Amino acid sequence: MTDTDIKKGLAGVVVDYTAVSKVNPDTNSLLYRGYPVHELAATQPFEAVAYLLWHGELPTDEQLAELRATERRNRALHPDVKAAIDILPTSAHPMDEVRTAVSVIGAQDTAGIANVMDAVGTPEENLERSLRLFAQLPAIVAYGQRRRRGLELVEPRDDLDYAANFLWQTFGEDADPVVIDAFNRSMILYAEHSFNASTFTARVITSTLSDLYSAVVGAIGALKGPLHGGANEAVLHIFEEIGTADNVVPWLDAALAEKRKIMGFGHRVYKRGDSRVPTMKAALDTLVTHFDRPDVAELYDTLESEFVERKGIYPNLDYPSGPAYDLIGFDVLTFTPLFVAARITGWTAHIMEQQASNALIRPLSEYNGPDERHISGYVPDTAVLDVAERPEEAAG
Ligand SMILES: CC(C)(COP(=O)(O)OP(=O)(O)OC[C@H]1O[C@@H](n2cnc3c(N)ncnc32)[C@H](O)[C@@H]1OP(=O)(O)O)[C@@H](O)C(=O)NCCC(=O)NCCS
C-alpha cells in the first residue's frame, strides 16, 4: 500500500448513494431532492423544506398544514429537558447544551425499550422523532441564549410559523418580516449538504443500528468543530478583531504571514465558490439595510475581495451567515446551535435513508506503529497465543 492508496480525510471517496441532496462543485449548484436550494430559499417556508428532505417531495397545502400543526404541538420543552439544561453551567459551550438536551429527549423517548434491537425504530417512528427534534430545537437554542443573558424561557406561540416563533422564543418580541425572511432563508441554506462530516457521523452511528437520537448527538459533536459548524462563530471573531474595513489590509497581511486560516473561506468540495453564498449574501444585504449598518457590508466586501484576490479561495456559507445572525441579535455563541436547528432536517433525512438501505460503515486502516514487541519476562499461556505461535500448531 502506498501513500496515494490512503484517502486521508476520505477526500474524494464516494461511500454510498444518496437521494437527499446533490452538491455539484463544477456547476456551483446544490439541489435538495432535485430542487436548487436558491429556489427553495426564495419561495418556501423552512417547514416545507423539512418535509421535502424527509419525504422527497414538496408538501401539498394540506400536508404542509398537517406538518405545521404537528410541529406546533411539539414545540414546548418537557420540564425535565429544561431542568437538564439548567444544571449545566451557563459558561458551558452552547453546543454541549444542545447535545445534552437532545440526549435527554432521546432517553425519554426510548425509555422502556428493553431490547437494543428495537431502539432503532420503524420508519414511522423515526419520522415522528425527527419532527419532534425539529420542533423542539428552537426552544433549546433560544433558551440557551436567554439563559446566558440571565433571562427566562419564553413559551412558544401557536399563532406563529416556525421562523417567526423561533425569533419570538429567542427575543420575546415579534420580529420584523424582513428579519423573519432572512432567518428563514438561512435555515433553508443550512438544512442539508450531502455527506459532510456531521451527516457522515450520523450515518456511521446509524449504520451500527443505533437509534436516531444517538446519531443526532454524534452529529452535534462533529458539527461543534471549527472546521465544520464552528466557522460562523469564528467569522464574527475575525470581524471583531479587524474592526473596520480600513483595517482589513494590515490585518490580512499579518494573518497570512502567520499562516492563519481565515474562517468562513474555503470548502472541501466547492473550490470555485459555495453555491449558497449569493442567496445568504442577499439576505444579509436586506438586514444591512433594515438595521442601517453599511459598515458591516463594507467590512464584509473588503475582506472578501482582498482574500479572494490574494488566495483565490472563496467564502463559504458561514461568511455571510455569521454577520447576518449578529445583526438579527443572536449571540456569537448561538450561531452553531442555529446550524443544528437547521441541519436536524438533513441529518434525520440521511439517518432514515441509511436505515432504509443499511451497511455497517467500517473502513480499514494501514498500520504504521512499532513492529511487534513483547513485555520482557512475560511467559504467556499457550491458549492466548496467536494460532501461528502455538507450539502444537507450529508442529502440525
Ligand atoms: C473548509 C476547509 C477545512 C477545507 O479544507 P481542505 O479542502 O481540506 O483544504 P485545505 O485545508 O487542505 O487547504 C488547501 C490550501 O488552501 C489553504 N486554505 C484553505 N482554506 C483556507 C482559509 N480559510 N484560509 C487560509 N488558507 C486556506 C490551506 O492553507 C492550504 O494551503 P497549502 O496548500 O499552502 O497548505 C478549509 O478551507 C478551512 O479550514 N476553512 C476555514 C474554516 C471554515 O470556514 N470552515 C467552514 C467550512 S463550510
Q: Distance from the CA of 221 to the center of ligand 1, in angstroms?
A: 21
pLDDT reported for residue 179: 98
Ligand 1: residue whose CA is nearest its atom 12: 268
| Given the residues 109, 181, 193, 267, the one annotated as active site | 267
List, in order, residues 6 or more apart from 306 with CB less than 8 Å away.
248, 249, 252
Q: Is the CB of 263 under 6 A from ligand 1?
A: yes
Residue pair 180/164 in contact (Cβ under 8 Å)? The answer is yes
Chain centroid offset of residue 217 CA: 11
Angstrom distance (rounded) from CA 134 to CA 120? 18
**Which set of grid coordinates corresponds to residue 224?**
461543534
Q: Which of 195, 252, 265, 277 to mutate to test the pocket of ligand 1 (most atoms within 8 A of CB)?
A: 265
Q: Which of 313, 314, 316, 339 to mutate to test the pocket of ligand 1 (most atoms within 8 A of CB)?
A: 313
pLDDT reported for residue 390: 65
The whole-number average pLDDT for the span 116-127 is 90
Is 14-225+332-356's fold the same as 232-324's? Answer: no
For 297-324, the pLDDT digits (tens) are: 999 999 999 999 999 999 999 999 999 9
Q: Which of 13, 260, 261, 310 to mutate to test the pocket of ligand 1 (most atoms within 8 A of CB)?
A: 261
Q: Is the CB of 265 under 6 A from ligand 1?
A: yes
* CA angle (231, 236, 237) in 5-degree steps: 90
First-last CA distance in the chain: 32
pLDDT reported for residue 226: 81
Q: Is the CB of 336 under 6 A from ligand 1?
A: no
What pLDDT band is residue 117 in, cutting at 50, 70 and 90? confident
pLDDT reported for residue 284: 98
The whole-number average pLDDT for the span 70-91 is 97
265-287: b (≥16 Cβ within 10 Å) or e: bbbebbeebbbbbebbbebbbbb
Q: Residue ranges per domain, the chain?
A: 14-225+332-356, 232-324
For 216-270, the pLDDT digits (tens) are: 999 999 999 888 887 888 889 999 999 999 999 999 999 999 999 998 999 888 8
Superfamily name with CATH number, domain 14-225+332-356: Citrate Synthase, domain 1 (1.10.580.10)
Answer yes or no: 267 catalytic: yes
pLDDT at 340 over 90: yes
Answer yes or no: 374 catalytic: no
Number of neighbours of residue 308 by Cβ within 10 angstroms: 14
For 189-203, the pLDDT digits (tens) are: 999 999 999 999 999
228 or 344: which carries more pLDDT confidence?
Answer: 344
Instruction: Enumerate helices (H) and strands (E) in the chain, giving the number of each.
Output: 17, 3
Angstrom distance (rounded) from CA 396 to CA 389? 12
Angstrom distance (rounded) from CA 66 to CA 92? 37
Q: Is the CB of 310 under 6 A from ligand 1?
A: no
What CATH number has the domain spanning 232-324? 1.10.230.10
Map grid coordinates 419520522 to a residue: 127
- The mean pLDDT value of the chain amounts to 94
